[in-house]
Amino acid sequence: MRMSSINMAAMHEPPALAHSTKPMVAFTTPPNYATRLSNLLSLNGFVPLSSPTLVVEPTPSTISALKPYLSPHSLRHFSAIAFTSRTSITALCHAITAIEEPPLSPSGDAFTIAALGKDSELIDSDFVAKLCSNSNRIRILVPPKATPSGLVKALGEGIGRRVLCPIPVVVGLEEPPVVPDFLRELESNGWVPVRVNAYETRWAGEECAKEVVQRLEEGELDAIVFTSTAEVEGLLKGLKQFRLDWKTVKQRWPELVVAAHGPVTAAGAERLGVGVELVSDRFDSFEGVVKALGLKFNSS
């Protein structure tokens, strides 16, 4: 295995974590989500350090996989689309641009578009118009609890109806249980979920942990934020390039604060052996985890 260029000898005696007026917070969020979190951290007095461990994006093959479901012949057999991420909405937008006519007829039963928290902001009037010329036919559903389970609960009983689920295909990592559990919950609630690989979630590569390790070694890093389980696995995989595991990280830098964006991510991190000290109680946006960090460091 190729080792990355970090001074390994210096890592045996790391300095204590820095406690400046502006704590440094690393976050492993993919680049297409990172700007929002970085801005929030800056506005709340932190020094943000973007260290993505994943790349999350639609690809030509995933867009091609989506297109057949967006024809009038196909989509009329569905009663809902359930989006579990912002990227899934973006992927469908890309796919539908090649469709000349809205795939849903203006008349018929109500059609539900379900999305989580801030993701629902992407489902605007233009988005709806691309799906159906009659906006009154579209019901936009945003569950009060921004989790896949909350989405299933908000959708209610399926009664044998079909729901389109644009989800990621995971490359270079184990698929977290979040999506399989979501599909099982839909089935248990009487829905017929149809899975389509709408975008890729793939490991960012062996250099993804480099800056986190460097900042720890220099005594500058105060906290790290995970916003999905796959990010945690990506970081752990990256740490191996430096002959590190999480147990060793916490032994050498015990004051490093670990925060998770919501209970689903926290549970996934714990399953992978990464203990989480802070979990945001508001997880419809990144504001919750930033607030939790603020409370932690302001009380220190």
pLDDT score of 8: 40
Report the alpha-carbon distance of residue 187 to residue 141 in Å, rounded: 19
Task: Record the pTM.
Answer: 0.83
pLDDT score of 281: 78
pLDDT in tens, 200-223: 999 999 999 999 999 999 999 999
User: What value does the mean pLDDT take over residues 240-248?
Assistant: 96
More confident residue, 53 or 98: 53
Which band of pLDDT confidence, cut at 50, 70 and 90, is reported for residue 71?
A: confident
pLDDT in tens, 48-67: 999 999 999 999 999 999 99
What does the DSSP 8-state code read for residue 122? G
Which range (13-27, 92-106, 132-146) has the least confidence?
Answer: 13-27
Which band of pLDDT confidence, cut at 50, 70 and 90, is reported for residue 228?
A: very high
47 contact partners, CB below 8 Å, separation of at least 6: 22, 23, 24, 25, 41
Q: Which domains can be identified in the chain, with CATH numbers? A: 9-53+204-298 (3.40.50.10090), 60-203 (3.40.50.10090)
Q: Is there a contact between 148 and 119 (Cβ–Cβ < 8 Å)?
A: no
Q: Where are the alpha helices (DSSP H) in 69-147?
A: 72-75, 86-96, 125-131
Q: What percent of the chain has pLDDT over 70?
A: 93
| Burial category of 291 from C-beta neighbours within 10 Å (exposed 0-12, middle 13-18, buried 19 and up) | middle
pLDDT in tens, 250-275: 999 999 999 999 899 999 999 999 99
pLDDT score of 11: 43
User: What value does the mean pLDDT take over residues 26-55?
Assistant: 95
pLDDT score of 14: 38
User: What value does the mean pLDDT take over residues 115-138?
Assistant: 94
Report the chain's mean pLDDT, rounded to a whole number.
91
Residue 181: CB atoms within 10 A of its CB come to 14
User: What value does the mean pLDDT take over residues 84-109?
Assistant: 92
